[in-house]
Amino acid sequence: MTLLKLEQLYKQVVLEHAQNPHNQGQLVMPTAQIRLKNPTCGDVIELQVMIENKIITNIKFTGHGCTISQASASMLTNTVKGLEIKTAQKVITNFLAKISGQVITQADNQQLKDAAVLSSIAQFPTRIKCATLAWHGLAEILENEGK
């Protein structure tokens, strides 16, 4: 019963991303970076991006944290790599809407790629912070870049 519910949150894709995170590491010459911290649990994520001609050409992260925060950071990097700043901003908005329980269009959902499965977090409000940490961080970077 308990484990069944747990499986809804920790879907296979989530566990895979956490165990073998994509784009983990550091960029040689990032154009922007941010350090994020969740003070209640101590999770830390450092996000580095390479932005050229308003396109996210590369993105990597380091840090430590729970399964959800690591998987979510890994998914984020996959989802936004190669996107234009404006598109990435929209994707982030859609992601945040989806995991707070709102319905988004099929097309928007597809654009989220693996990250779409994190919508199950909507049922686990105590973990939303973990799932959104990296996304909020990128949003902050992009806002500064867009200025």
Partner 1 sequence: MDNSKKTVNVRQDFAILATQMNQQPLIYLDNAATTQKPQQVIEAIMAYYNTANANVHRGTYTLANNATNQYEQARTTVAKFIQATAEEIIFTRSTTESLNWIAKSYESKLQTGDEIVLTVAEHHSNIVPWQQLAQKTGAVLRFIKLDQTGKVSLTDAQQKITNKTKIVTFAYVSNVLGMRAPILELIKLAHAKNAITVIDGAQAMAHFPIDVMQLDIDFLAFSGHKMYGPTGIGVLYGKKALLEDMEPLQFGGEMIDEVTQDTATWQKIPWKFEAGTPNIAGAIGLAAAIDYLKKIGWQKIISHEQALMQATFKNLKTIPNLIIYGSQVPEDHYGVISFNLADLHPHDIATGLDLAGIAIRAGQHCAQPLMDYLHVLATLRISTSIYNQSSEVRKVAKILKELEAFFKS
Taking CB under 8 A as the rule, does residue 127 contact partner 1?
Answer: yes
Taking CB under 8 A as the rule, does residue 86 contact partner 1?
Answer: no
Q: Rg of the chain's alpha carbons, rounded to an integer?
A: 14
3-class SS of residue 83: coil
Instruction: Name the minimum Å distance from CB 1 to partner 1.
Output: 8
Taking CB under 8 A as the rule, does residue 10 contact partner 1?
Answer: yes
Binding test (CB under 8 A) with partner 1, winner from 25, 52, 126, 147: 126
Binding test (CB under 8 A) with partner 1, winner from 39, 52, 107, 110: 39
Q: Buried (b) or exposed (e) across 76-99, using 16+ Cβ within 10 A?
A: bbbbbbebebeebbebbebbbebb
Write the DSSP string, 45-57: EEEEEEEETTEEE
CA angle 132, 134, 135 (to 5 degrees): 60
Taking CB under 8 A as the rule, does residue 130 contact partner 1?
Answer: yes
Taking CB under 8 A as the rule, does residue 12 contact partner 1?
Answer: no
Q: Which residues of the shown chain bind partner 1 in the complex (CB under 8 A)?
A: 2-3, 5-6, 9-10, 15, 39-43, 64-68, 124, 126-127, 130
